[in-house]
Amino acid sequence: MQLPYQIFDDFKSIIRTRLRLLAGDATLAKEEGKAGNTLAAHPLLATLSEAELHILLLALLPQVAPDFLNNAILEAFPGGGDLPLLGGVKGESHRGLLPTGETALAIFAGENLEDRLLLQQLLQPDERLAREGLLFLETVREGEPPMSGRLIIPQHMADFLLLGRESAPRFSPGFPAKQVTTAMNWEDAVLAPATRAQIADMGAWLEHQHKIAADENLARKVKPGYRVLFYGPPGTGKTLTAALLGKQYQKEVYRIDLSQIVSKYIGETEKNLEAVFRRAERKDWILFFDEADALFGKRTNVQSAHDKYANQEVSYLLQRVEDYTGLLILASNFKNNLDDAFVRRFHAIVHFPPPNVQERLLLWQKSLPASLPLDAAVDISELADRYELTGAGILNAVHYAVLQAYEQKATGLSQPALMAGIRKEFLKEERVV
């Protein structure tokens, strides 16, 4: 259900009136229409207060009428000039005024200190607007007034209110996460017995966590959430396991590659990840942080201002990860690369070792095409014994061999084609066949 667009015409009248009152126009009566009554018919917003509804509409306004705030302010203050009371910022692409917390305070509370403090309370992170993922204040640099941050409605929520449908999150610097899915099943995953046992423990938490939360005694003592470290060489099944857990327990899995998002700009990394955490908590996603040592590695000695802020980012994220109430998985190639203080926060540390000979044979068997038979000369037992490849490496080698067979119009999968695929994988790792 989308918002009735008439609501914005009514709301514009409210803002024009409030701005003129703020400018000192004493001839106006305070009859501002009833925008809230119309909006309250929307099921998502029916229980919000009028003040909360007005703040939400103000944040939505630039998406509906990009030039309205600029024009309305010019009408109320025709002399122009610097108006710090009204706040507002310019975006990188948007040419209109983007409202901040200060804009909301000025329009809806004026200079009345008591009203301003009451409205400011509504914009706190633990209040309903932020808690339910409707709206939040952008974090500003330390030392600047928090209300100077932009009013931000997550784009999926804006789409739901304006278009009547909730959009899937779009991968971007501001939302650096991609959904992970798989067509494979647990039968396709070849894992060491110890690894599989620990994965079963994670499944037990996903299955029964709600019972812990409902237990009168344990709920007070056991912190919500489950944090797991996956470590082992690339290609050993870490991402596949996360995807299979999501598939089995019908939870969306979102992967964040930390090596791709660690920002050269101080403070940007945590700001970008906050949007992911906020939506993940509301949707109960499984969060999968890949290349975790890029950000959660051993903290450096403070030798410069950059080191100081980099360590602050890590400290912030350590706390944010610990506070996450769902399943959170961090993946790293090497356990020893991670900060010791962070490792202690894990509920489980799961090792994904390279497959042994028997596991490699099973991986070869599971990777062969159904429509292309093996030539009689191929002995996959020998391939498994002689060539130490991960599951991903074996699948890549088979994929290459199958393409070569199709290209050469062969009727079967030959030893030379498979060896060419194996050489290709060894070259990636600068190894010699």
State the Cα–Cα distance between residues 209 and 215, nearest whole angstrom: 10
| Per-residue model confidence (pLDDT) at position 273 | 82
Residues 150 and 200 reside in one and the same domain: no
Residues 197 and 346 reside in one and the same domain: yes
Is 423 a member of any domain? yes
Residues 159 and 252 reside in one and the same domain: no
| Per-residue model confidence (pLDDT) at position 35 | 47
Instruction: Mark the ranges of the chain whose per-residue pLDDT is less than 70.
Output: 1-2, 4, 26-44, 259-268, 295-314
* Domain count for the chain: 3
Is 172 a member of any domain? no
Q: Structural domain of residue 422, as residue ranges?
A: 357-428
Residues 257 and 306 reside in one and the same domain: yes
Spell out the alpha helix ranges (H) of 223-339: 238-249, 258-261, 268-283, 293-296, 305-323
Burial class (CB in 10 A: 0-12, 13-18, 19+), 38: middle
Q: Where are the beta strands (DSSP E) in 167-285?
A: 178-180, 226-231, 253-257
Residues 405 and 385 reside in one and the same domain: yes
**Residue 19: closest CA among 103, 84, 91:** 103
Residues 60 and 208 reside in one and the same domain: no
Beta strands 253-257 and 178-180, pairing class: antiparallel
Is 173 a member of any domain? no
State the Cα–Cα distance between residues 229 and 336, nearest whole angstrom: 12
Residues 271 and 290 reside in one and the same domain: yes
**Dihedral, 304, 308, 309, 312 alpha carbons, nearest 10:** 170
Residues 115 and 205 reside in one and the same domain: no
Residue type, 374: L
State the Cα–Cα distance between residues 206 and 87, nearest whole angstrom: 45
Residues 326 and 408 reside in one and the same domain: no
**CATH number of the domain that residue 225 is part of:** 3.40.50.300
The residue count of the chain comes to 433
Residues 334 and 393 reside in one and the same domain: no
Residues 6+ apart with CB under 8 A from 184: 240, 243, 244
Is 39 a member of any domain? yes
